[in-house]
A and B are shown apart, each in its own frame.
Chain A
């Protein structure tokens, strides 16, 4: 019954490899996100999609490419992994912001990526 699920939870890989992290939400939300949390716990937005359309694309290397096959899925593919990519990657989802009504962002359990 996990609302936002992402796989794998742990990933250890060598520099130069290509890897993907998958995310799925069953909340019926239209907006999905990828956040990166570094070793100092700082949480930074990477990408956001609304109904499969990219709306936020922060300054991240081109090696990172999100893909949203439908509004319930947002996957993250990383090419040519580097040591500095080691972090926890969180997928999240929310409903659209409409008028003055607020909404909440729900997080997946995180994917711990270690590049060696």
Chain B
């Protein structure tokens, strides 16, 4: 079965610090990879996604992620965080179900980012 792990449960940074959130997935086939953000009290919104091509993908609000196939990783980065980046961040994998009918989106447990002003 597909699974997604995220390295950190809670990350605390000061404004302007650099950010890297780790994500590893377990799946042998072709996958699509995503990072979603959930601001306090809100729903999940797409930050960025990787389907194919350049393994370095850029998303909204200055975020980027790098897909390293050999490491089954898709880490999220931002060179300089802001207080408004305080949120929960979820890594997700989308792949076809083993029965070859339908698909599933599997989410990691989330990483809470707290940015101190």
Contact = CB atoms under 8 A, between A and B. Distances in A.
A42 B51 contact: no
B94 A55 contact: no
A45 B43 contact: no
Select the residue from A41, A90, A106 with max chain B CB neighbours within 10 A. Answer: A41
A97 B94 contact: yes
Interface stretch (A17-25, A67-75, A76-84, A107-115): A107-115
Contacts of A45: 104-106
A43 B29 CA distance: 23
B110 A41 contact: yes
Nearest to A35: B107
Contacts of A40: 109
B103 interface: yes
Kindly state the interface size class of chain A when it binds its partner.
20 to 34
Interface string B87-98: 010101011110
Nearest to A95: B103
B102 A105 contact: no
A48 to B, nearest CB: 7
Contacts of A97: 32, 94-96, 102-103
Nearest to B49: A104
B18 interface: no
Interface of A: 31, 33, 35, 40-45, 48, 50, 55-56, 90, 92, 94, 96-97, 100-110
6 contacts: A35-B107, A45-B105, A55-B97, A90-B44, A94-B103, A100-B52
Given A56-B102, A102-B94, 5 more contacts: A40-B109, A50-B102, A104-B34, A105-B105, A108-B43
